[in-house]
Amino acid sequence: MKVDLNLLAVFDAVYRERSVTLAAVRLGRSQSTVSAALDRLRQVLGDDLFLRQRYGVLPTARADAIALDVARVVADAEQLLLPAPQFDAGSSDRAFNISASTYFECLLAPRLISALRSEAPNVTLRVTAQGARRDTEALMSGELDLALGRFLDNEERLVQRTILDDGLTCLAPRDLVSTNNRLTKSTFEKTPHVVVQPSGRWRSGVYQAVEAVGLTRNVAISVSHFQALPAVLKEIGGLATLPIRIAEYLARDPGLAVVAPPRRLGRFPMHITWHPRFREDPGHQWLRRLIAGICNSMSATTH
């Protein structure tokens, strides 16, 4: 049986006002419309519900029995139809859960934390390490708000956008870099390489880029995070092939320098991914705009 929820709203108003006339005013309807609705509800429930009195109406025992439940249904329906809540970054204490590749941890996290302190001092950001399969499951379940990294498989059930792109270069101890600031093929292939193998799909991308241009690497050691590179590179006098922005970030160490590989290794995209359930969420939209703005400012420098 289909139930007209408007009848419940009429019942709730009459019960509260104890008057058909005042209920009509409360609902912004005519008295005859409210009376007709009450008649339909009486037929559905098989009870008089309200008995006429000299001044207003008196609820029956059945009306008293259902009044609280009807009030809850009406209140819930009204809540559902309210405009979407607005997000005020300055006062919100919302917590966001994101996953990030080591690339974004190094480059984005400091800028993002600085922006949060300025725009949203009470917002909390929880960052976990990227894991492609785990991230997809967490995004689907709502455990994660969004993921930042390189996703080679575009999951149809998720929204994915390219948020910036980068290229590949090499990082080496400064005394290994020649005056022309470019490695020869021989130096590139003979020098010990430090390979970064974080979780996710980063490893396959670098291997493919190097192999595609006919180069090989003399891999000496693998590490899981870009931050481990400076000490290891200086210790073994080796090379690392990594994103240009990361190389420039690490080259702030005076003992290291960015040096071009013997051949161009191409470019690659970095992605932001989220579930469609958050498409219209004002807080989520704010966070995505904030991250996009930071990435746009990073992209202002041509690589």
Q: How confident is the model at residue 202 (pLDDT cuts 50, 70, 90)?
A: very low
pLDDT mean over 138-156: 79
CB atoms within 10 A of CB 278: 17
Q: Residue type at 192? A: P
Nearest partner of 102 among 236, 213, 240, judged by Cα? 240
Instruction: Domain ranges for the chain, please list them.
Output: 5-80, 95-163+269-299, 167-267
What is the CATH number assigned to the segment(s) 5-80? 1.10.10.10
CATH superfamily of 167-267: Periplasmic binding protein-like II (3.40.190.10)
Q: Provide the CATH topology of domain 95-163+269-299.
A: D-Maltodextrin-Binding Protein; domain 2 (3.40.190)
Q: How confident is the model at residue 59 (pLDDT cuts 50, 70, 90)?
A: very high
| pLDDT > 90 fraction of the chain, expressed in percent and rounded | 42
For the segment 207-251, what is each residue's pLDDT rounded down to a tens digit?
Answer: 888 888 888 899 999 888 888 999 999 999 899 999 999 999 999
| pLDDT > 70 fraction of the chain, expressed in percent and rounded | 90
> How many angstroms separate the Cα of 50 from the Cα of each of 42, 290, 303?
9, 56, 77
C-beta separation of 191 from 239 below 8 A: yes
Residue 161 pLDDT greater than 60, yes or no: yes
> How many angstroms separate the Cα of 116 from the Cα of each of 83, 110, 120, 122, 189?
26, 10, 5, 8, 44
C-beta separation of 147 from 130 below 8 A: yes
Q: How much is the CA Rg of the chain, to the nearest whole Å? A: 32
Residue 16 pLDDT greater than 80, yes or no: yes
**Of 31-40, 84-93, 100-109, minimum mean pLDDT range:** 84-93
Determine the Cα–Cα distance for residues 285 and 89; give it in Å rounded to an integer: 11
Q: Identical fold at 5-80 and 95-163+269-299?
A: no
| 0.95 exceeded by pTM | no
Mean pLDDT over each residue of the chain, to the nearest integer = 86
Helices (DSSP H) in the chain: which residue ranges? 5-17, 20-27, 31-45, 61-80, 102-107, 109-119, 132-141, 185-190, 202-212, 229-236, 244-250, 282-299
Q: Which residues face 269 on adjacent strands? A: 165
pLDDT mean over 102-120: 90
